[in-house]
Every structure is written in structure tokens, then in C-alpha cells.
Structure 1
């Protein structure tokens, strides 16, 4: 049995383990009925935050028809029971959830407030009687514009009455369709809550600022590298940021405070769209069609199902449509895990960085699914898990995309370079060199200076090939090309003209001594032993040098004619075996 399990199976196993661990709380919640009303909650300076878990009672109104007067009158048959920690309640149809708790205000110097530490609640209303016995009502929830809330905030916040040493009873009515309701009710003094909000807004501002910056940088990289993956990433990171803004209440507070309808539906639209774009983004980068068409076709089928599901959920919203979207989310996460596992097996460094970067968000995305299936209560992890995961993902994912684009760009650059360079040595090929030589002749005549041209011949190339084979002969050509580049300046041009001949164009103004020094350096470098050649093998070079343009020549600006002139000089030099450098006109 092999030691290593395929990575795709390991990712799926890890995902399943996390799902199992997150589901454990579902079996641990058992709210016991209350035998008596809990004692009033004393508010004093000793505690700045108090949870209502175990200190409040709850009641389900199946018809939603009971009003505050009916609830306050306390008719027989109302089954109030203690509300425990982590309670989840399914409010189907018109069902409403009522809570009640008593407060004994002892710290009248502080302003106390009730907070529901979650956003996305359809409607939440708090009632209490003032000192004159009149009802005071405060409202919040997605059915109202945030600007119309009792206290506009990310989460529903209600002000408590200030009556020293007097017990005041408060009632809270909650309406929340389709998604099981769970949330922590807490009492804070005003200063503590404001300080908590400042810290939260600072962290969230850092995340949303990073998301905006990454979107802009991704679009810039798309324009520079012409890489569609950056465009898809920009859409993905934008939808991820907007989804988090909707689910954390930031959108309703700052982005669309007066759009009531959109505030109700934003989370149900943006999260599925983020899942759809995330699926297509991974498909575009991982390219499962390289391995097989089955997974690729599954991605396309899921994308179509996502679109149908979103339209269905917006046209005929119901618990069934939401569960269908949640099921699609589960299938998409498993498909993404499979694609990442298959991509990992390719062994490429950048794709492994990409796979690792996607894992945190992939795992955190299970939290909304578990919540929708009533397997997880609303808590810190379920609210901020994706934000934390996205903050981990962003730098790793962007690094992987940059590495991928760099590799692709280098490949494209090498392919583009073949249009003007020859593949073995990387030197300029003959056609492009003729253009450079022509331009150099034009400049030299215009400005009245000399440039120089060196024709270099590897005299023992055929001998090396016959003795050591073609591979060693090609290696000798590469070494000769590197030596040519070593003596060339940035403005000079080195080229390979044919099997064993090179040329070096030295841009002017240039002096005869400089040309002779360059030719001599080439000869000396060639005679040095190289560890990349067989023992005792050296490069025997022959060099023909000329200053351009030639005052006594009629070649004018004809680059090909100048090369032919140099070739004739090389034929003359080959007749003198003891001579290695021929100067044509200086």
C-alpha cells in the first residue's frame, strides 16, 4: 500500500474532519425548561458586559399574531423557557420568537444598551414600559433601512431605560425566516460597546482596504501581463469583500444604508455569486481539462446550477431554495478540493502555492453552509471566519498568481525573442543583425564618426564535431557566443551568421586601438581551457576587423555588401594559417 495518499483525497478528508468538528455543538445544545423566572440582571460598575444566556426566557409564537399587550398580559398556556447558550431556533412561516428579561439598574452613571451580536436578522423589536406606564418601542433589522434603526449600527442595538433601583422588564420580538436564528444577546455599557466597535471597525477597515488594493493591483496586472486570471481574481476578491460587507453589517451601515430591499437580499445574492466566481476562478487557474473533461464539465454544470439557483431563490424565496443553494455550495467546495488536489500532483511550485492559499477560505466557507443546515450557531468563528481566512489567503494567492504570470511571461518573451535571436546561442540572428548594421552605418555617416565590425570564425568547429560529436561542437558554439557577449557593451550587437561564424558590431565613436584590443581579447579567451569542453580542447578563433564606414569604399549603407566584404577578408585570412587577426582598413 503506498505511503502517500493522493492530495485530493487528503484535502477532502481534511474538509470532512472540519465539518465533523464544527457539527459537534449541534449535539451538545439542550435547553432545559425553566421552573421559575430568572432573577433580575443587576447592572452596576463591576461588569461592563453581561450575556443574556441563562438570564432570559424565550417563547415561540407559531402564528406571529401575539402583540406586546398579549405577551405582557401573560395569559395561561404561554410556554416560557430559559434561553441557553448557543440556542438555534427555526422560525418557519409566520413564527416569531419572543424573549423577556428583567433589569435592575444600579449604575445610573452609565448608559446601558442591548446588542444582538449578529447581522442579517429580518426584524427585531424591543418593548418596555416607561415610568408613566407607556410602551416604548425600538426597532431594527433588515426590513428597515439602517438609517431608520433606533441606533444605526452594524448590529441591532437598543437603549435601556435609566430607572435607579427599579426592576424593568423588557420584551424582544424576533422575526427571521429561512435561516435558523441564533445569536448572542448582550448588555453593554455605552462606552464599552463604542470601544468594542472602534476595534472591530479598525480590523474590518484593514481587511476591506486590503481587498480594494488587491482588486486595483489585480486589474493593473491584468493590463500589464494580459492575463485573464487576474481579471477573474479581481471579480472574485470584489465579490468576497462585498459578501463580507453584507454579512457583517458593514454594507447596510455604510454602503447602502437606505436600500431596504437590497439590504434584505444582499447576503443571499453576493455569497452565491462569490461561490460561483470562486469555482470558475479555480477552474481557470487549475485547468482541470488538461487532466480530463469530467471535472471540467462538472464545473460548468455547477456554474449553470448556481445561476438557476440564484434566480430561483430571488424569484420564489423559501427554505428549500436556500438549502438548494447550500447544497450547491457543498458540491462546489468538494469540486474545488478535487481540482486543487489534481493540480497539486502536477508538481509545479506556483500551483502548489495556489492550492495552499485556497484552503483557508475553502474551509471557512463551510461555516455558512453549516449555519443554513442548522448545524452551527452564530458565534465569532461563524461571523469572522471567512474574513480571517481571506486575510490569510490574499498574500499567498497573489504571490501564486504573480509566479504563474512571470513563468508565462518568460515563456512568451522567449518565444518572441526567437523572432530576432537564434535558439542555440541566444545571439541576434542574421536578418535582424543586418537591420542593426544598416542603422549603425546611417548614424556613422550622419554624425561623422566610425563604428566597427568584427567577423569571428570558429576555425576548429568542424574538427571538434568530428572528434567529440555534435553535442560538444554545439557546446563550443555556445561558449564562443558567451565570450562574444563578454567583450560587447550594452550598445553593441553580437550575432551568429552561420554554422561557425559570428559578428560583433561595435557602435561608434570607436578608435582603432579599441577594436584591436577587442579582437585580441576574443582570441585570448578562446584559447583558455574550459571545464565544459573535453580536456585539451580550446577555441581557435579567426577575426576580421574593419572600421565603418570605409572612406575608400563604395558600399555606402548596404549592410549585406559590408558582410560580404568581411567574408572575403576571412577567406584571405584562412590562407595565412599563422595569422589570427586581419585588419581591413586600419
Structure 2
């Protein structure tokens, strides 16, 4: 990507997003590496000896210079009315003064600052030189150069000019200088901005500028690629979990990504190069929307309304306030719009940090992750506000601090969302389990046991698949409860489940069908010996007190069983029959294991045929005589 694009609105701040595990670390590493490369490119300074090569007030440019800061080499004049043209600037009454480093010019709507450079490309040098304005706060930059015929020609770029009409399309204004070797030329630049700002400008060869552009786009591309992949991961996660929080986060992260692209000039260069008013206003409008979405997202993530009604109401109002403020930004006078945006961003940052701090104080780990995400962003937004107010000069690091903070914040917030989503998903799973499992013991619910029992009896009738059904009572549960209380009684039930599970197979169905009654379906069993062995071992295990248990409580079990091969009882009759068998046992019975007896069989009566037909007794011949 060649050359620069200017970004109009000074204060843009945005969003958040991130995947998990090794992929997340790789994405963060790629984004961080790209940003470090960008910062390295932005931090390149001209060689001191190059800046000193001046002859009779002329800056001598050589191919080995590469790139140098033009601010200290320029002279400036502030046009308060903004109406002066090149003819007025050339008049003797206009006094240009040397530019001071990091000067913040008191620009406002209508005013302009003029810069004058006298340049000389040395004899024998071949490189093409560029004049680069890398300040995203500038609205319009016009550069005047004299052609070979002695006429002044002007080129204009900036947020108020569509990028496809710039002399060099890019993220910010770049102008090619017409400098015949050995001939000194004067170059005039007029800069307009709606706010107080510095004007960082540099002279660069086309080779050095292209290399710098590639490094910057490498960093920004890594950051945007990570954000887009995170958004895709959010959408996929939301689809898998059917969780609207992930979809909301994806929307928020998408707005934030667009805001960052508009803030850095990438959107104006690549997404809407033909737009005029929208290119100038997009960073502010998207900053409102992404900041509002951030408040609402953090509000839902930390469950503020349930814990602090007043703060929850404040965050809700602040978040939805972005909806009317975003279009109002297009209508307000620019300084008022920027001041409103600054106040809103400061309020959003303060609310999010306060909400995260309160959540962390409640020992909510999600609050700590949100705090880690928003403290750097709050600091970056504060620096952007100070730059808007003209208290800080525009610089590469200050300009992209918000971008770096957002790229850091997005993954951290996704970590927080993942933690909260797992908690909510776990609660939902437990809620669903209550409909299928016993809340105390975790065994399957009674209605599911009845369904399973119906299926087992039906299979026996149709396919002769054997099965045994066993009901087990904890006989002394009521006495334990009366003597030791509800807690010990519940512990005795849990101990009963543990002992029971140790004796049954994984394929056996176990359920709790009463306060102290358990039911067991053992498919494929047709022998009383198997049932007797398991029940005897359970009874013996219950009579052995748990070592170290206070008070020492033994468990007394009774078991009633039926083999379908012996007694094919109907499913609806089985609970009543086995329950009656258990109820017939005394607490001190010596036969704690009993079976339903098979039904009594009646002999088939011998029928006598007296019809006298063939084959009857009447066919016998009568005695002779």
C-alpha cells in the first residue's frame, strides 16, 4: 500500500474481541509483532547530519538521506481568517517564523496555518522526494509548487477530499515534489483543522516512504486480521452455544474494528475512497457506537444490574445514549461534536473501569480480566482527549496508542466472556439436569425410571429379553434423621448411593424413587443368585461404619426383587408389588432379601366327551352275554 491517508476526527476509540488457547496466543503475538514493527517504522528519525545540510537557507536533499523531519526546517505563518491564497502569502507583509518542535497550532474552523520550505535537490541525485503529513487530525492539506513555466500549481488532500481524488491515495496526505536537480524551489503548504493540533510533516524519498508504508500496513494488517478472526470465532462460538452474548460481542467487536480502521485511515483508503462527508465523520460516529456497545457489553458481562441497581441504570443509559449521539455527531458544529465525543469516551472509560473494579472486589475473576482490558484503553483515551484539547502534540506513538490498547483489550475481553459463558453454560446444564436427575444423589429422575421400566417389560414380552428389577430401602433412614438431623440423614443417602454404585454394572439403571428408596434395573439377569449376591454385599457394606465418621452411623438395607422370567408382572403393577413386599418386612427381619413369588399354576382339567361320537367311551363294545 503506497502513501498516506489523512484522518479527520481526532478522538476515536473502539472495541474488543478474542479466541482461546494456542490460536489466541498466536494471534496476539502476530498483532503485537505487527504493531511493534509499525512503532519501529514510526520511530525512525532522520540522521542528524542530514538535517544540518543547509545552504543559504536552503535544505539540501540527497538520496542517502532517506527520510527527515521537515518541521524544524520549515517556516510557518498562522492565517487567522483562513482566506489567504498563494498570492497573499507571497506578499512582503506576510511574516513567516521558524517552526518550533512539537508546536501545537491554535487552529479552529476557518483558520489555517501556512508552512514554507526552501528545498534543493543536490546535483546528480536521482530519488523522487515526497512531502508527507502523517497527522490524522488534519481536515485538509493543500501544497503549492511552481512548475517550469513559473506558475503555481496546487494539490489537495485530507478527510474533506475523497481519497480517490488525492494526488497519492493512501491513509494520509502525501505529495510528490517537483525538484529539478541543482535548482532551489520553494514549497508552500496550507493546513486546515477543526481543532488545535501540531503538524508533524516529513520529507522522504519514495523508496523510504514505500518501505515505511509497508511496515505500517504490516502492523495494521496483523491487528485487523486478528480482530476479524476473533469476530469469526465469536460468531462460531455463539452458534455452537446458542448464546446471544457471543453474538452481541461479535457485533461490538465489528463496530470497534470499523472504528479503528476509520481512525487509522484504512477505511477511507480501502472501504469508502469516494466518500467525502462520511470519510470525515466516520471515525466519530463509529467511536460513539463502539463505546456505547462497550458499556452495554461490560454491563451484561459483569451482571451489574443484579448487584447495583443505580450503577446498572447509569451504564444502561450511557450505553444507549450512543444511539442518538452517533447521528447527532453529523449535525453538530465540529468543535462541539468533538468535545461531546471526548466527554462521552471519558465517561465510558470511567464507568467500565468502575464496574470492573467493583466486580473484582466481589472476587469475580471476570472483573479482573475486564480491568486488565480497560485500564490501558482508559489511559490511551485520556491521551487522545488531551491531544484533542491541544495539550499534547500529535505523534506516532500517541496516535496509535488507542489502536494498541484496543488490540490488547479485545482478546482480554474475550477471555472474560469465555469464563462467564462457561459459568452460564454450566448453570444451564445443571438446570437441565434437575429435570432428569435427582437433585441430592444425581441418580436419574423417577419419571425417567418409569419410562425405562416400561421399555424393559415391553422388550421382555416381545423379544424375551431377561431383566431383574430390585427395590432397595434404607430402613433406618427415619431413625437417623430423628437422632442426628437432616444433614446426617442426607449424608447417609449419599453413602448409600456410593455403596450401591460400587456393586452394579455401568449398564444398570439406578434411580431414587422415594425419600429413602432406590430402584435398580439389571438387564440380562435371569438368576436369583446374582441378585442375592449383590444385595448381600450391599447389606454387609452398610453395616460397616465409615472410618473416622462422627457420629458412627450404620446403614440398614432391605431388598425386594423380581425376575421377569419368573414373574412377568406389568410395568404399572411392579412398583406397588415390590413396595408391598418391602413393607411386609420387619426392621429386624432375618430375610432382608426377598423375591416376588411366581404366580401359582393350576392343573388343566381333564374334559370328558359324552357326545357318543366317534372316539368316545361309547365306542367300547358292550360286554358279551
TM-score interval, smaller chain: 0.7 to 0.9
Q: Distance in 2 between matches of 1:393 and 1:227?
A: 22
Asked if 1:269 is matched to 2:285, the reply is yes
CA-to-aligned-CA distance 1:477-534 (integer Å, 9 cap, x gap):
012123334455555432111122111223x445647656654554465455535733
The answer to whether the 8 A contact 2:477-2:516 is kept is: yes
Q: Distance in 2 between matches of 1:511 and 1:405?
A: 48
* Structure 1 counterpart of 2:578: 566
CA-to-aligned-CA distance 1:404-462 (integer Å, 9 cap, x gap):
12222222322232223222212223223212222333344444422332322223334
Q: Measure how far apart 1:584 and its partner are.
A: 5.0
Q: Measure how far apart 1:579 and its partner are.
A: 4.2
Q: Which segments of 5 or more consecutive residues in structure 1 lack a partner in the other structure?
A: 1-35
Q: Measure how far apart 1:56 and its partner are.
A: 0.9
Q: Distance in 2 between matches of 1:158 and 1:93?
A: 24
Q: Measure how far apart 1:173 and its partner are.
A: 1.5
Larger radius of gyration: 2
Of 57, 60, 70, 1:42 maps to: 60
The aligned runs of 1:493-504 (5 Å cut-off) are 493-504=509-520
Of 380, 391, 397, 2:407 maps to: 391
Higher alpha-carbon deviation: 472-481 or 572-581: 572-581
Of 182, 187, 200, 1:184 maps to: 200
* Structure 2 counterpart of 1:159: 176
The answer to whether the 8 A contact 1:147-1:257 is kept is: yes
Asked if 1:150 is matched to 2:167, the reply is yes
Higher alpha-carbon deviation: 116-125 or 242-251: 116-125
Q: Distance in 2 between matches of 1:42 and 1:532?
A: 93
* Structure 2 counterpart of 1:85: 101
Q: Distance in 2 between matches of 1:86 and 1:98?
A: 16
Q: Distance in 2 between matches of 1:45 and 1:125?
A: 25
1:424 aligned counterpart, secondary structure: coil
* Structure 2 counterpart of 1:59: 77
Asked if 1:555 is matched to 2:572, the reply is no
The answer to whether the 8 A contact 1:146-1:258 is kept is: yes
CA change 1:570–1:155 in 2 (3 A) is: same
CA change 1:235–1:430 in 2 (3 A) is: same
CA change 1:367–1:516 in 2 (3 A) is: farther
Q: Measure how far apart 1:242 and its partner are.
A: 0.9
Q: Distance in 1 between matches of 2:88 and 2:503?
A: 98
* Structure 1 counterpart of 2:116: 100
Q: Distance in 2 between matches of 1:441 and 1:148?
A: 83
* Structure 1 counterpart of 2:605: none
* Structure 2 counterpart of 1:26: none
Q: Measure how far apart 1:385 and its partner are.
A: 1.2
* Structure 2 counterpart of 1:196: 212
The answer to whether the 8 A contact 2:281-2:329 is kept is: no
* Structure 1 counterpart of 2:25: none
CA change 1:349–1:385 in 2 (3 A) is: same
CA change 1:575–1:51 in 2 (3 A) is: closer
Q: Measure how far apart 1:274 and its partner are.
A: 1.8
Q: Distance in 1 between matches of 2:504 and 2:148?
A: 95
1:99 aligned counterpart, secondary structure: strand
Q: Measure how far apart 1:252 and its partner are.
A: 0.7
2:71 aligned counterpart, secondary structure: coil
CA change 1:37–1:504 in 2 (3 A) is: farther
How large is the Cα RMSD of the aligned pairs? 3.0
* Structure 2 counterpart of 1:420: 436
Q: Distance in 1 between matches of 2:501 and 2:92?
A: 99
Q: Distance in 1 between matches of 2:78 and 2:305?
A: 52
Q: Measure how far apart 1:227 and its partner are.
A: 4.3
Q: Which has the higher contact order (CA 8 A, sep 6+)?
A: 2
Q: Distance in 2 between matches of 1:451 and 1:112?
A: 92
Q: Distance in 2 between matches of 1:436 and 1:491?
A: 12
CA-to-aligned-CA distance 1:11-40 (integer Å, 9 cap, x gap):
xxxxxxxxxxxxxxxxxxxxxxxxx99843
CA change 1:541–1:383 in 2 (3 A) is: same
* Structure 2 counterpart of 1:9: none
The answer to whether the 8 A contact 1:54-1:83 is kept is: yes
Q: Distance in 2 between matches of 1:102 and 1:207?
A: 39
Q: Measure how far apart 1:77 and its partner are.
A: 2.4
Of 447, 451, 455, 1:431 maps to: 447
Q: Measure how far apart 1:55 and its partner are.
A: 0.9
The aligned runs of 1:300-319 (5 Å cut-off) are 300-303=316-319, 306-319=322-335
CA-to-aligned-CA distance 1:147-200 (integer Å, 9 cap, x gap):
2211111121112235223322211111222x3232421122222222222222
Q: Distance in 2 between matches of 1:40 and 1:525?
A: 102
Higher alpha-carbon deviation: 434-443 or 523-532: 523-532
Asked if 1:367 is matched to 2:383, the reply is yes
Q: Distance in 1 between matches of 2:430 and 2:509?
A: 18
The answer to whether the 8 A contact 1:39-1:55 is kept is: no
Q: Distance in 2 between matches of 1:100 and 1:150?
A: 20
CA change 1:47–1:505 in 2 (3 A) is: farther
The answer to whether the 8 A contact 2:466-2:565 is kept is: no
TM-score after normalising by structure 1: 0.84
CA change 1:539–1:282 in 2 (3 A) is: same
Asked if 1:173 is matched to 2:187, the reply is no
Q: Distance in 1 between matches of 2:448 and 2:313?
A: 46
Q: Distance in 2 between matches of 1:585 and 1:214?
A: 67
The answer to whether the 8 A contact 1:183-1:379 is kept is: no
Of 254, 257, 281, 2:270 maps to: 254
Q: Distance in 2 between matches of 1:139 and 1:384?
A: 25
1:58 aligned counterpart, secondary structure: strand
Q: Distance in 2 between matches of 1:321 and 1:38?
A: 46
Q: Measure how far apart 1:348 and its partner are.
A: 1.9
The answer to whether the 8 A contact 2:567-2:596 is kept is: no
Q: Distance in 2 between matches of 1:218 and 1:531?
A: 51
* Structure 1 counterpart of 2:604: none
* Structure 1 counterpart of 2:252: 236
Q: Distance in 2 between matches of 1:325 and 1:391?
A: 21
CA change 1:497–1:312 in 2 (3 A) is: closer
Count, aligned residues: 543
Q: Distance in 1 between matches of 2:327 and 2:587?
A: 86
